[in-house]
Amino acid sequence: MRKLPTVAFIGLGRMGRPMAARLAAAGYTLQVHDKAGRAHLAGARTCDSPREAAAGAHVLVTMLPDGRAVRSALLGRNGAALALARGAVVVDMSSSDPVRTRELGRELAGRGVELLDAPVSGRVDGAREGTLTIMAGGRASTLKRVRPLLEVLGQKIYLAGPLGAGHAVKALNNYIAAAGTLAAFEALVVGRAFGLDPALMTDIFNSSAGRNSTTENKIRQHVLAGRFASGFALALMAKDVGIAAGLAGALGVDAPLVRRTRQVWNAAKRALPRDADHTEIYRHLAAPKGRG
């Protein structure tokens, strides 16, 4: 039986922990590190630094809040790149700035290490069940090398293009989701002000052209139920919309809707608690100050 490669996994947050757990259960030799002290994971060796986690690893996976955290884990003090052997592959499954991803790829290439960006979509349930959608950027040959590992984590794996393409399409995907969430929640606020029944409105939206992910999965489940617990943070949504807006700006593309979407999400981020779920932007839109 072919021995599976040793994998380093850095970042055991809401998404990273169930993803790493799946790799351990699949038989990978797993070495984990988490800066916030959440590193203990059954079936894995806990490491005190990214450098320790990377020692002897053939593949290193990062699942961190942003590109800055990824860079620090790889190239900072006791960074993983100091221990990775030539020929190793770094798979960045975080949501990062695609322009910075290409810069990071060039720096790692100088050390003989290849970078593949492979952000995901599918929420915590998808991470737990291995049903994530994975959007990869990099060389087809590199994706082929790590595909068996990625197939433990996701059902749909796309090669979106060269390095940075995965991060670009992830940010654009989340921008679409963020804009759709604003549209659905604003419609709910306006309809309620007019005296419409919100549950009935939602049923009509879901059987009409206005149907989207928010009308199907967020209004009844989180807003009307008062749960506001989708598992995806408002701050992360604001960050991803910011990446999409920044990408448009870097490319010289005039995209007024993404700019306005970024403004609204950033305003909600400032107004709501730091740990707010992204569905809580409804509270911001429904408040008197959100009706301008």
Predicted local confidence at residue 292, as pLDDT: 40
Q: At what angle do helices 198-206 and 165-194 cross, to 10 degrees?
A: 130
Residues 181 and 270 occupy one common structural domain: yes
- We report the CATH number of the domain holding residue 44 as 3.40.50.720
Alpha-carbon distance of 32 to 255, in angstroms, equals 40
pLDDT in tens, 4-57: 899 999 999 999 999 999 999 999 999 999 988 776 899 999 999 999 999 999
Q: What is the pTM of this model?
A: 0.93
Q: Which of 162, 183, 218 is the C-terminal boundary of a domain?
A: 162
1 located within any domain:
no
Domain count, the chain: 2
Is residue 289 flagged as an active site residue? no
Residues 141 and 188 occupy one common structural domain: no
pLDDT in tens, 229-288: 998 999 999 999 999 999 999 999 999 999 999 999 999 999 999 999 999 999 999 998
Q: Which are the contacts of 47, defined by CB distance < 8 A and separation ≥ 6?
A: 8, 31, 32, 33, 39, 53
Residues 142 and 202 occupy one common structural domain: no
Per DSSP, 22 falls in state H
Residues 217 and 250 occupy one common structural domain: yes
Residues 102 and 203 occupy one common structural domain: no
Radius of gyration of the chain from its Cα atoms, rounded to whole angstroms: 20
Residues 62 and 156 occupy one common structural domain: yes
Residues 142 and 270 occupy one common structural domain: no
281 located within any domain:
yes
Residues 12 and 111 occupy one common structural domain: yes
Domain limits for position 128: 6-162
Residues 126 and 266 occupy one common structural domain: no
Cα dist. 93→144, 166, 272, 280 in Å? Answer: 16, 9, 27, 25
Residues 201 and 135 occupy one common structural domain: no
- We report the CATH number of the domain holding residue 193 as 1.10.1040.10
- Beta-sheet pairing, 6-10 with 89-92: unpaired
Predicted local confidence at residue 40, as pLDDT: 84
Q: Catalytic residue, from 170, 218, 239, 269: name it.
A: 170
- Beta-sheet pairing, 132-137 with 120-121: antiparallel
156 located within any domain:
yes
Residue 109, pLDDT above cutoff 50 = yes
Reported as a pLDDT band with limits 50, 70 and 90, residue 291 is very low
